[in-house]
Structure 1
């Protein structure tokens, strides 16, 4: 192996990494928008197949992304040149085409606002399809030049293209074999396991074994044959098969299939049980709408994605599954890679925030979950943070205090829903929520956000010319503002944090300033009992 994995990781997490993150966020944003802001049922349209195909785009994209990661890991020499080409490639026309496509995909949501999109599916399909083609084509050419794509796709005896096409069609292949999924014994076993799991959390579980209906209080679900776990079995089996094919020269095939496939099937079934149990608990205890329109729609593919990447990491880690001398040696551990420390914790932050918005009655109630996730991420990249100069700077501290005071003075009225929900909690639960929320707000969020917006985005856009520096400050601050509900105040805060960092060239100064600002806000929030401030 002539190209080490550390070099691949460094290049991949550069410009290519940030563009792929943008593409994934766009896809998730469009999917969530149509899920929560539009009324569309595929069974009520005149083109159910096309509708289901579009609804499966998120899962399809995640499967392709996972398989692409496998290919990069398996054939680093093949992809090294391609990933290197992405660093210097610029194509403003492709970028414009990509964003035009995204706007076209969002157009039906605006045109048919407040109407039943099921009845207007034929009119909406054209902008959806045209937008998808333009956004994909523009995105690919924005990422890398055409000749680079040609070289990377038509290699390894032309196997790259068929593998990626197979990955893209995995959801459709699984759907096509649905008629053979009526495994009554597995459905009964899944039903029993869900009932047992729910009884660990509630004594009010009501079930009807004949019809496979189960619920708590007034929220019931029916466990259909396709909910028994066979869909997950099909997905993970295909994924394990693709992995075995890609790494066929490296793995001991019999050991791999005899060990990894049973683990994959078992974990898939367990996750399916947890998914159904959580769906019922959320519907009964939090909100039926969140359970049906949020959790039910996205939990499946999120769990599959986590399982797929977990299996990939496990297979790469276990030496016993590989032939001697075939496992790649990573010269630089991921947790010591500064680019990874700038990007991955923020990606976790965004994914967790999206899940919280879907699962909790009010996003603020679930924010302590972010504390635990971000705490893990920061601890994981501790070797990177230990290399920073952490001596506090007076200017950074003072500017942070000014930002915090300004944020409090410009605050809108308190959020009554969050306040009522919090004070309905037991005292111990409210205290735990407050402590974890403050730790996350004052310590962890400043580190993660500043590492991304100032440490990565601002530094990448910055240049020696005055116009480049000004543009870098404005764009990074605008992106920071879009992440916050109060975009004007957040934009001003972003300008301050950018100036603080550029003053001495230390992202740690921006982290200190951000932490002080959040500390001021958290202190006032605790004093007033108005937790909507943070």
Structure 2
């Protein structure tokens, strides 16, 4: 088991990356479930104001977090001191987990509910849950005395940045009337038409009503689809950037970021609508309108806002004096030789493909071969590090894995109703799909999950040095937290929690992550074999 402590008084990058990834995952799950999964008509029961407040609150949190990232560019020394002990205490992650549980409790209250009886309890649980989620991550990133020192030195600028970014989503809506929305809609419609027409579709195009489509799938590019909200958000963030870095920037040249931001927002919004139209024209109208449309807008805003700011930081003409980078006291290894990247990158690719697949296909499991190829490419990239691991495996590891697999298949699971996971594939393509499914399930998934959960995350949570074993209470806590997070990724969370504890015990016993990988692979082999023989792929 590896342990890679960061130098003192420098930001501990890996815990910060873990905190950012965990927060993004939690917000994504909360947003997706409450918007698209549970059977609850928010506007029909609570009204536009309450539902808009709930939706905009999550967006406001996104913007506030982005503002903190922007502020870190302004005061890098303060952030280095703040984050110098990140990840030293794992206990705050329990608060984070408790907050996530609280925020998810309204699922049980709202599923199939009607009326406003559950509105106040739901909002109370959401507020308390979000507070604990953020408090837990703040405690994971820095102890209280460092937060007190940090807040004492940042003062008014950080407060202004947080307030402005928190109000940004609501302000973006309020600013819509001052824009020439009809003209922006006209430009968006023309760009979408220019992008789609050369592809050979027999399109119905009505420039007066701004309708475009084919057959039963017709899009109306109304003012609401002009991307004006995204443009307003980008302008707010550019304004915030100009204010925070006003002492460094050269005016009036810096004001060029406004037209650049508007143009980039309009172009990417047109691309978003064109992609949405293509998805609908290819027989997936529900995916186009209900899945892609609702999330691609925020992706475009993030790309434009951060892209403009990052580019602006590298354009000398926009600054009063050349910005000289401080010489680094140590050279970071390239990505393919970085031991932290080797444990995180393949898992990040695995999770990213799991999120993207449902957004682009109504049968995401059919894309599993593509996911296997992408994850395998990530593993190949960091293989120079992984091949140096101790790959000696104890026979007890295989036995433990087989027992986990037997437990998994003995607990009955009803076959999934609906379309087959491999979709419309047939003949040899089905056999090829099963081959990739087996490679992913038995070889790649155990490797990437164990490297991340047991070799990286659990080791960091224990926080012990190689020659100084961690207290048993901390070892147990680290195993429980890791198993809990591991279980959260599985539909069969109870079985996954037990499996996670077994894999942790196997790795802890020998001190080799290869034993946990072998146990996980043996368990998955048993499960996959039974699933193929019985035809019940739901047990995987």
CA apart distance, 1:431: 6.3
Change (3 A) 1:245 1:201: same
Q: Distance in 2 between matches of 1:162 and 1:353?
A: 37
> Pairwise CA RMSD of aligned residues?
4.2
Residue 14 (structure 2) aligns with = 13
What do the CA deviations read for 1:32-55 (whole angstroms, capped 9, x no partner)? 222121434448745x44532320
Task: Name 1:82's counterpart in structure 2.
Answer: 82
Deviates more, 1:510-519 or 1:71-80: 510-519
Aligned to 1:56, what secondary structure does the other structure show? Answer: helix
Residue aligning to 1:502: 508
Contact 1:374–1:445 (8 Å) recurs in 2: no
Structure with more helix by fraction:
1
Query: Is the 2:461–2:478 contact (alpha carbons within 8 Å) kept by the matching residues of 1?
Result: yes
Distance 1:161 1:185, change over 3 A: same
Separation (CA, whole Å) in 2 of partners of 1:7 and 1:216:
61
C-alpha displacement of 1:78: 0.7
CA distance in 2, matches of 1:100, 1:395: 35
Change in 2 beyond 3 A, CA 1:203/1:109 = same
Indicate how the Cα distance of structure 1 residues 50 and 492 shifts in structure 2: closer, same or farther if over 3 A, else same: closer
Matched, 1:155 2:153: yes
Aligned partner of 1:273 in structure 2 is 270
- What are the Cα deviations for residues 56-82 of structure 1, in whole angstroms up to 9, with x where unaligned? 233322222223223334422111222
Q: Is 2:485 aligned against 1:476?
A: no
SS in 2 for 1:220: strand
TM-score (norm. length: structure 2): 0.79
Contact 2:211 2:221 in 1 (8 A): yes
Cα distance between partner residues in 2 of 1:128 and 1:352: 31
Offset, 1:349: 3.6
Asked if the contact 1:62/1:305 (under 8 Å) is kept, the reply is no
- 1:72 corresponds in structure 2 to 72
The answer (yes or no) to whether the contact 2:390–2:514 under 8 Å persists in 1 is yes
Quick one: distance in 2 between partners of 1:90 and 1:498?
17
Matched residues in 1 for 2:44 and 2:414: separation? 43
Check the 8 A contact 2:365/2:422 in 1, yes or no.
Answer: no
TM-score (norm: length of structure 1): 0.80
The answer on whether the counterparts of 1:233 and 1:269 sit within 8 Å (CA) in structure 2 is yes
TM superposition shift of 1:297: 2.3
Q: Which runs of structure 2 are paired with 1:309-388 in the superposition (5 Å)?
A: 309-311=306-308, 314=311, 323-328=321-326, 331-332=331-332, 335=335, 336-343=337-344, 345-371=346-372, 373-375=374-376, 377-379=378-380, 381-382=382-383, 384-385=385-386, 387-388=388-389
Report the equivalent of 1:240.
238
Deviation at 1:241, TM superposition (A): 3.8
Residues 41 and 333 of structure 1, relative CA distance in 2, 3 Å threshold: farther
Cα deviation for residue 152 of structure 1 reads 1.9
| Preserved contact between residue 365 and residue 418 of structure 1 (Cα < 8 Å) | no
Structure 1 gap ranges (5+): none
User: 2:332 and 2:383 mapped to 1: Cα distance?
Assistant: 15
Does the alignment pair 1:455 with 2:455? yes
1:385-400 paired onto structure 2 within 5 Å: 385=386, 387-390=388-391, 396=397, 400=401
Summarize the Cα distance change of 1:272–1:383 in structure 2 as closer, same or farther, 3 Å threshold. farther
User: What SS does the aligned partner of 1:480 have?
Assistant: helix
Pairing 1:300–2:297 present: yes
Task: Please report how far the alpha carbon of residue 177 of structure 1 lies from its aligned counterpart in structure 2 after TM superposition.
Answer: 0.7
Matched, 1:31 2:28: no
How far apart, CA to CA, are the structure 2 residues paired with 1:89 and 1:439?
A: 37
1:188 aligns with 2:186: yes
2:363·2:422 contact (CA, 8 Å) conserved in 1?
no
Q: C-alpha distance in 2, partners of 1:474/1:201?
A: 53
Deviation string, structure 1 residues 140-171 (Cα, Å, up to 9, x no partner): 76444555334323435631221222222221
Flag the 1:69–1:405 CA change in 2: closer, same or farther, 3 A.
Answer: same
| Aligned mate of 1:511, from 510, 514, 517 | 517
The alpha-carbon distance between structure 1 residues 318 and 347, as it changes in their structure 2 partners (threshold 3 A), is farther
Using a 3 Å threshold, how does the CA distance of structure 1 residues 432 and 326 change in structure 2: closer, same or farther?
A: farther
CA deviations 1:204-234 (Å, max 9, x no partner) are 5434322122334433332121312332222
- Larger displacement relative to structure 2 (61-70 or 81-90): 81-90
SS of residue paired to 2:218: strand
User: How far apart are the structure 1 equivalents of 2:472 and 2:129?
Assistant: 37
Give the Cα separation in 2 of the matches to 1:509 and 1:253.
Answer: 60
Q: Distance in 2 between matches of 1:358 and 1:266?
A: 26
Distance 1:110 1:502, change over 3 A: closer
Q: Name the CA distance, whole Å, in 2 between partners of 1:310 and 1:215.
A: 31
Gaps of 5+ in 2: 1-5, 463-468
Contact 1:194 1:277 in 2 (8 A): yes
Deviation at 1:10, TM superposition (A): 5.0
1:177 paired with 2:175, answer yes
Cα offset, 1:433, TM superposition: 4.6
Alpha-carbon distance change, 133 to 350 in structure 1, aligned in 2, over 3 angstroms: closer
Asked if structure 2 preserves the Cα contact closer than 8 Å seen for 1:342 and 1:456, the reply is: yes
